[in-house]
Amino acid sequence: MREDPYELIILGGGPAGAAAGVYAARKQLATLLITKEFGGQSVVSPDIQNWIGTPHISGQELAEAFARHLREYADEVLTIVSGKEVVRVDVDASLITVELATGESFRAHTLLYALGARRRKLAAKGADQFEHKGLTYCASCDGPLFAGKDVVVVGGGNAGFESAAQLAAYAASVLILEYNDTFNADPITVEKVLAQPNVRAQTNAEVVEVFGTNLVEGVRWRDRRNGEEHTERVAGVFVEIGTIPNTDLVAHLVERTERGAITIDPWTGKTSHPRIWAAGDCTNVRYHQNNIAAGDGVKALEDIYLSLRAR
Ligand SMILES: Cc1cc2nc3c(=O)[nH]c(=O)nc-3n(C[C@H](O)[C@H](O)[C@H](O)COP(=O)(O)OP(=O)(O)OC[C@H]3O[C@@H](n4cnc5c(N)ncnc54)[C@H](O)[C@@H]3O)c2cc1C
């Protein structure tokens, strides 16, 4: 491992961090990339169909491809630290310091922050109590346990509809409950998923309780238009209600939105701190997709390169 300071530290091995890492190495920037794991959030997806140039790829294959591509450059200019967690980021007069849970710390002149986002938890009564007892945040991981059973998906965005599509293949029935009065998922996805005979969906539905004894036995939801409460007897509850940006580590350093997303200049990926850039789902960009995160990682890297080499 090189004596620090590095020119650049990249945090994250999802599409934003991985894409930036490849570009950084090709531009010969002395770079350290740190990530808990490769691939990012869609690593759990069995079939990603919109990674450009690849009609079908599993999340696991995507993660392996990222790691393989980055390792092409490892040891030359790019140092990779994977399987470790970043716990602290600080800046002094001239350098950025990144500290890991292991106690190791590294310094660099610039930082690209790409730690993505994590799942938003369901706030309904009983949701915590029944997590892993019928309530889950990963349809592709836990779905097969619910073969032949009735299940609910909470959330009518793309992730909710994709989960419903997977579940429909083996569950007896799938009910999608959406809080708002319209679905956020792409119309083509909504149409395709609702064409399945065992899938139905309900808008304006607020889940108020997950109930059961040892395992989930059902949910109660309130119709937000008239306040009426309904009970669904289901064995599984799959929660897909969005994400929370992983930005706590730089809360004291950069401007964030109310939602906690890092505010960036969309032209460059620059944050409010002159030596910190950010890309992907941890930022305030409107759309969250693998291709967008990768492109934004590259865009930020181009700007970092200019800022370093124009000094
Ligand atoms: C279930 C699901 C399915 C999806 N399917 C699709 C799809 O089919 N097509 C599509 O385009 N998009 C899909 N998305 C969206 C897509 O996954 C995200 O937009 C994309 O992953 C964002 O990339 P990112 O690099 O910004 O962050 P992330 O993917 O969130 O990556 C963040 C990285 O940071 C690392 N990390 C986080 N915290 C730390 C820490 N403290 N220390 C060290 N490392 C850390 C993580 O290990 C991870 O590698 C899906 C999302 C989900 C949740």
Q: What is the pLDDT of residues 77-113, one digit of tens each?
A: 999 999 999 999 999 978 999 999 999 999 999 999 9
- Residue 265: count other Cβ atoms within 10 Å of its Cβ: 12
Ligand 1 in contact with 59 (CB < 6 A)?
no
Q: How many angstroms separate the alpha carbon of residue 254 from the centre of ligand 1?
A: 21
Q: What is the CA radius of gyration of the chain?
A: 21
Q: How far apart are CA 91 and CA 193, in angstroms?
A: 48
**Domains present along the chain, CATH in parentheses:** 6-119+243-309 (3.50.50.60), 135-239 (3.50.50.60)
Lookup: tokens for 142: 């836990």
pLDDT higher than 70, residue 311: no
Q: How many angstroms separate the alpha carbon of residue 36 from the centre of ligand 1?
A: 12
Whether 144 and 170 have beta carbons less than 8 Å apart is answered as yes
Find out whether the peptide bond into 5 is cis, omega within 30 degrees of 0: yes
Q: Which atom of ligand 1 lies at the shortest distance from residue 50's CA? A: 9
Q: What confidence tier does 240 reach under pLDDT thresholds 50, 70, 90? A: very high
Task: Indicate which residue's Cα is closest to atom 22 of ligand 1.
Answer: 281
Ligand 1 in contact with 98 (CB < 6 A)?
no
Whether 38 and 15 have beta carbons less than 8 Å apart is answered as no
Task: Indicate which residue's Cα is closest to atom 52 of ligand 1.
Answer: 42
The overall average pLDDT reported for the chain is: 95
Lookup: tokens for 263: 């505010």
Q: What is the pLDDT of residues 31-89, one digit of tens each?
A: 999 999 999 998 988 788 889 999 999 999 999 999 999 999 998 799 999 999 999 99
Q: How far apart are CA 43 and CA 210, in angstroms?
A: 27
Q: What is the pTM of this model?
A: 0.86
Q: How much is the pLDDT for 122?
A: 97
Cross-strand bridge partners of residue 209: 125, 220
- Sequence-ordered list of residues with C-beta below 8 angstroms from that of 85, at least 6 positions apart, any chain: 36, 100, 101
Q: How much is the pLDDT for 1?
A: 65
